[in-house]
Amino acid sequence: MHDTLHRLFSFKAWADDQLLTALAGLGDHSPVTALAIKALSHTYVVDRIFAAHLRREAHAYPSANLSEMPTLAALAADIRRSDLEYIDHVSTLDPAQLAESIDFAFTDGAPGRMSREEMLMHVVTHGAGHRGQVSAVMLLHSVPPAKDGFTAYLHEAEAPARRRNCLVASQASLRAGSASRGLPST
């Protein structure tokens, strides 16, 4: 699971960067940017709240939403820094630490208890959901969304090995298809 978490947080950082870069191209006055800042600032706050829970520390957030919205540039810098912190953090955890349950309080005061692994999975899936919301807003405003799928990440992050293997598989598939239709193979 350790390698899986590292890969998922590396993907999260990449996907966040893809979206933040696309939003930066729209400018600060775009209605898409304003809505994206609201969704992504919420995601950032939740990431930071759970980072504190993982360390068994208090956090300074009275809510999972900010009362004042940051600029896109400031939020982007904060998100990128937080993503790198999570990548570093998951690299240091052993299986016993991942399984350890931690008691905490949600921002509404309700008690919570999750393992570190569950908290980390929440951070990854929560962020993906809100990136999807922002992509939907982009589409509604006729703006192409960022390419942020896991397969796109794998083929960009591991491009040389994956492209080579894809080419070999494609050629083999073409030969097999040609042979099944009675065509000569190349």
Instruction: Dihedral sign for Cα 119, 124, 128, 130, please.
Output: positive
Helix-helix angle 116-140:31-54, to 10 degrees? 180
The answer to whether 130 is annotated as binding is yes
| Cα separation, 151 vs 156, whole angstroms | 9
The answer to whether 2 is annotated as binding is no
Position of tokens 């960009």? 156
The answer to whether 42 is annotated as binding is yes
**Chain CA centroid to CA 70, Å:** 20
| Cα separation, 117 vs 36, whole angstroms | 28
Binding residues for a divalent metal cation: 42, 126, 130
Binding residues: 42, 126, 130
